[in-house]
Amino acid sequence: MTKQAAIVGGGVIGGGWAARFLLNGWDVKISDPDPQAERKIAAVLDNARRSLPGLSDVALPNEGQLTFCTSIGEAAKGASLIVEAVPERLDIKHAVYAEIEAVNTSGIIASSTSGIMPTDLQAKLDHPGRLIVAHPFNPVYLLPLVELVGGKQTDAKHIEWAKQTYAELGMHPLHCRVEIEGFLSDRLQEALWREALWLLKDEVATAEELDAAIAFGPGLRWAQMGTMQTFHLAGGEGGMRAMLAMFGPCLKWPWTKLMDVPELTDDFVEMVGEQCDVQSGDLKPRDLEIVRDNNLVAMMRALKAQGWGAGKVLSAHDQRLQPDAAKIDYAQPVRTLDRVVPVDWTDYNGHMNEARYLEAFSKATDRFMELMGCDQDYIASGGSYFTAETHIRHLDEVNAGAHIHIETLCLSGAGKKMHVFNSLYHSDGRLLATGEQMLIHVSLETRRASAPSPEIAARLAKVEMHHAKLPRPDGIGRGIGQGK
């Protein structure tokens, strides 16, 4: 059954939520009084469609349906989840909740507030137990963190429901167990921002220099480890204890003005704005969003390869999206890869490069091995398949963002060999490339060829029998220089 969400407020955060839900298969109803809301959200969706699928190594669900509503009541009526993403004013939020309660008394209300206490938000609700805070980070469709906070009257079961729901959206739900203004992440971020504003005010550094001080140093560490683990490592073998012994006294030195904020005069605001404009050069906000999204996808995919931080969240989401192996029809070529081409798979010609074709075929063959029983547990027991020979034919080009899939045919699985033929297709039906591979089963203890387990041998024999009845694709056994 298709899941449904209502979103009240279509700004940067509301639009990002719409993209996150839609691209994960939810239907979304959205209400926003801005006459430009549809245009603005369309731009956010363009960015999300270009970048979010590239984080996954499997296909996302079919995109949900987006409906623009003329009122809050129309959007909220019948919704099990209502996302509130309106301006950070308590009176506005209370007015929105009143309109929601006029038509919906049971759906969970999830406020995107970045710091207002949920107890204050739920103060005027007739059904306060259903309100939670689900605070995301921009861009919502890419960054996995969502802070979950309950108020004094929040029913704990709704926090537990939210943990599961946001995890299914590919996010990392962080339950802020103690209700506090600003929650966790914004308190940390604003401490740094406040100090940066003082350094600007005192003309110690420019906006560009301050960003360089983060982007080329600690920011790269923070992408994989937070402040505490970073400083724990900085203490060497002594860890955090040694770090505090060495640098703890420095915390009392006058290195910061965190207890105060510079006056935001018109002149100061203009100075900061001008420096940021100069730093951006000719890049407009939409241009910078594309640069930002490309960088985030590349960094999170790198973390994914290491199974770390945000990358671990992405891998878990891929596992949830992976088709059920029990439902695969082995009488047909096996679909072993189904995904979009991520932005970091393209070359100077603008299309997928040779190394990525090999990576795609390698992942497809790995998936076929896994389906035959050569999974991580089997490999840990001492057996695996090694690739002995590969032949790739490049037949057509494909660009970033294109939906591709691979169908694998088992030509032979007898004895110690596994011979497969992979066909890479575009979603429009074009055959893009083929990859023929011969693999040898190996004992990881002796590093020599060995027979696979009886279970794997039996599965391969069964699939080979089915696939032998299918038409032979062009290209089997071809060598370099032969006609395509």
Residue 484 predicted with pLDDT over 60: no
Tokens encoding 354 = 């040779």
Q: How confident is the model at residue 335, as a pLDDT? A: 96
Predicted confidence band of residue 2 (pLDDT cuts 50, 70, 90):
confident
Task: Report, in angstroms and rounded to the nearest whole number, the Rg of the chain calculated over CA atoms.
Answer: 27
124 and 199 both lie in a single domain: no
21 and 121 both lie in a single domain: yes
How far is it, in rounded angstroms, from Cα 335 to Cα 407? 4
332 and 351 both lie in a single domain: yes
Average pLDDT, the chain: 92
Cα of 251 vs its chain's centroid, Å: 36
209 and 165 both lie in a single domain: no
Domain count, the chain: 3
Predicted confidence band of residue 478 (pLDDT cuts 50, 70, 90):
confident
Q: How confident is the model at residue 241, as a pLDDT? A: 84
More confident residue, 452 or 231: 452
> Are the CB atoms for 209 and 248 separated by under 8 Å?
no
The enclosing domain of 441 has a CATH number of 3.10.129.10
**Segments of 2-90 assigned E as strands:** 4-8, 27-31, 66-69, 81-84
Among 255, 281, 307, identify where a domain stops: 281
pLDDT tens profile 327-386: 999 999 999 999 999 888 988 888 899 999 999 999 999 999 999 999 999 999 999 999
In a domain, 483, yes or no: no
Predicted confidence band of residue 483 (pLDDT cuts 50, 70, 90):
low
In a domain, 296, yes or no: no
pLDDT tens profile 17-70: 999 999 999 999 999 999 999 999 999 999 999 999 999 999 999 999 999 999
pLDDT tens profile 230-249: 888 788 888 888 877 887 77
Burial class (CB in 10 A: 0-12, 13-18, 19+), 146: buried
pLDDT tens profile 265-299: 889 888 888 888 888 889 888 888 888 898 888 89
35 and 149 both lie in a single domain: yes
pLDDT tens profile 100-147: 999 999 999 999 999 999 999 999 999 999 999 999 999 999 999 999
- Cis peptide, bond prior to residue 139, ω within 30 of zero: yes
Residue showing tokens 């309109």: 99
Cα of 3 vs its chain's centroid, Å: 19
Spell out a b/e string for 421-435, using b for 16 or more CB atoms within 10 Å of the CB, else e. Answer: bbbbbbeeeebbbbb
Q: How confident is the model at residue 247, as a pLDDT? A: 76
Among 262, 281, 300, identify where a domain stops: 281
pLDDT tens profile 90-110: 999 999 999 999 999 999 999
The enclosing domain of 58 has a CATH number of 3.40.50.720
pLDDT tens profile 388-422: 999 999 999 999 889 999 999 999 999 999 999 99
141 and 217 both lie in a single domain: no
Q: How confident is the model at residue 317, as a pLDDT? A: 94
153 and 52 both lie in a single domain: yes
Domain extent, residue 454, equals 323-467
How far is it, in rounded angstroms, from Cα 304 to Cα 14? 27
The enclosing domain of 217 has a CATH number of 1.10.1040.10
153 and 69 both lie in a single domain: yes
157 and 13 both lie in a single domain: yes
Predicted confidence band of residue 257 (pLDDT cuts 50, 70, 90):
confident
In a domain, 114, yes or no: yes
pLDDT tens profile 135-193: 999 999 999 999 999 999 999 999 999 999 999 999 999 999 999 999 999 999 999 99
In a domain, 339, yes or no: yes
In a domain, 294, yes or no: no
Among 161, 183, 205, identify where a domain stops: 183
190 and 177 both lie in a single domain: no
In a domain, 206, yes or no: yes
- DSSP letter (8 states) at residue 182: T
In a domain, 312, yes or no: no
H-only helix segments in 202-339: 207-215, 218-222, 227-234, 239-247, 266-280, 285-306, 310-321
Residue 10 predicted with pLDDT over 80: yes
Residue 407 — left, alpha, or beta (φ > 0 → left; ψ -120 to 50 → alpha)? beta
153 and 203 both lie in a single domain: no
In a domain, 286, yes or no: no
Q: How confident is the model at residue 320, as a pLDDT? A: 92
98 and 9 both lie in a single domain: yes
**pTM summary value:** 0.85
